[in-house]
Amino acid sequence: LQALGKHVDVYVLFTNPCRYYWGDIKDPAFLAKLLSRQRRHHRETTRELPLFRDTQQAPGLFNDAGEQDVGNPLLASWGKLGRDYIYLLAGLERYEELDAFVDIAPDNLLHNLQADILELRNAAVAGRSAEEFANSRSKRLLAANDRSLSIHVCHSPQREVEVLHDRLLAMLEENPELTPRDIIVMVADIDSYSPYIQAVFGSASGERWLPWAISDRRARESHPALQAFITLLSLPDSRFASEDVLALLDVPVLAARFNINEEGLRYLRQWVNESGVRWGMDDDNVRELDLPAT
């Protein structure tokens, strides 16, 4: 960006959850691990080592109570990627920053968390003493029916999707103004959840059916024909494993080209299995690879 900015104007749109600079905050878990490592190192050596590499900047690492201030712990733990990006942007020599932050009214649990992140505030500590705990201003009054944030413990990805489907149905029933087009579900790795989403949402019928679509998938995952094409390109350098070749016929476009239906593919798999074919296109292919026959 710095080199490009010498020739043209560069505009970067960055979604920032915090109005203050947080490129230097540290994850509490990382700090605890670092402290444990330092203690272990000091036990193993008898040398006198300074606690800080730069003693002049050391006081700035602590607050007035002598504790290391990490800002918002949730932002420090889950925002590492954005934190590093902000750190890089802040290192640019010349730039103009325009912000458009919107104040959040802390009227429910989710908005409380969002407001704390926006203000880089740590409300996790209710008090360091009994007196502070009794008069802590960090306490929030929550409604018993507040469901703005909920955590579900599930034993498998499929169960996660099933719980999601049930919760969406309940939300749509409780709020008539809410529609499916108002809902977006964020997943860290959408490709790993795609089979379960298709199984749960795709098999729902009647009143339990919801309109759905999967976005942000890799091209080869969302287009089976493209995946088959890539597999075909890699076949000449492979052992021509029987399952890899038969898997190509699972693609409807290829199966239709050779007039092979589902029943025909089942017979093909059975014949290949009964004939003992495991890999190799022919005898010449086996000799070229110089691999044992079994």
- pLDDT tens-place string over residues 259-273: 878 777 777 778 877
Say yes or no: 23 and 113 in one domain: yes
Q: How confident is residue 75, by pLDDT bands cut at 50, 70 and 90?
A: confident
User: At which of 99, 134, 169 does a domain end?
Assistant: 134
Q: Is residue 36 part of a domain?
A: no
Cβ-proximal residues to 201 (8 Å cutoff; 6+ apart), any chain: 161, 165, 210, 212
- How far is the C-alpha of 112 from the C-alpha of 119, rounded, in Å? 11
Mean pLDDT of 69-84: 81
Helix (H, G, I), strand (E, B) or coil at 226: helix
Q: Is residue 168 part of a domain?
A: yes
Among 111-115, 141-145, 158-162, 256-260, whose mean pLDDT is lowest? 256-260
Say yes or no: 115 and 21 in one domain: yes
Highest mean pLDDT among 65-79, 123-137, 263-277: 263-277
Cβ-proximal residues to 118 (8 Å cutoff; 6+ apart), any chain: 17, 18, 19, 101, 103, 104
Whether 122 has a pLDDT exceeding 90, the answer reads no
Count of domains for the chain:
3
> What's the domain range around 104?
4-27+70-134
Among 155-159, 172-176, 262-266, whose mean pLDDT is lowest? 262-266
User: At which of 176, 191, 217 does a domain end?
Assistant: 217
Joined together, the tokens standing for residue 252 give 């409807």
Whole-number pLDDT of residue 43? 52
| Mean pLDDT, all residues of the chain | 76
Whether 212 has a pLDDT exceeding 80, the answer reads yes
Joined together, the tokens standing for residue 190 give 């959408």
Whole-number pLDDT of residue 286? 61
Say yes or no: 118 and 171 in one domain: no
Whole-number pLDDT of residue 51? 47
Say yes or no: 74 and 9 in one domain: yes
- What count of other Cβ atoms lies within 10 Å of the Cβ of residue 164? 19
Whether 189 has a pLDDT exceeding 50, the answer reads yes
Asked if residue 224 lies in contact with residue 259, where contact means CB atoms within 8 angstroms, the answer is no
Whole-number pLDDT of residue 223? 66
Whole-number pLDDT of residue 173? 93
Whether 115 has a pLDDT exceeding 80, the answer reads yes
Say yes or no: 21 and 84 in one domain: yes
Whether 133 has a pLDDT exceeding 70, the answer reads no
Say yes or no: 169 and 263 in one domain: no
Q: How confident is residue 288, by pLDDT bands cut at 50, 70 and 90?
A: low
Asked if residue 166 lies in contact with residue 204, where contact means CB atoms within 8 angstroms, the answer is no
- How far is the C-alpha of 195 from the C-alpha of 143, rounded, in Å? 37
Q: How confident is residue 132, by pLDDT bands cut at 50, 70 and 90?
A: low
Q: What is the pTM of this model?
A: 0.58
Mean pLDDT of 76-81: 84
Provide the H-helix boundaries in the chain: 28-44, 73-78, 80-90, 109-118, 130-134, 157-174, 190-203, 219-222, 224-234, 242-248, 252-257, 262-275, 283-289
Say yes or no: 204 and 243 in one domain: no
Say yes or no: 8 and 80 in one domain: yes
Say yes or no: 234 and 209 in one domain: no
Say yes or no: 120 and 191 in one domain: no
Whether 195 has a pLDDT exceeding 90, the answer reads no
- Of 84, 63, 60, 77, nearest in space to 113 by CA: 77
Whether 185 has a pLDDT exceeding 80, the answer reads yes
Q: Is residue 228 part of a domain?
A: yes
Whole-number pLDDT of residue 49? 47
Mean pLDDT of 278-289: 64
User: At which of 217, 234, 255 does a domain end?
Assistant: 217
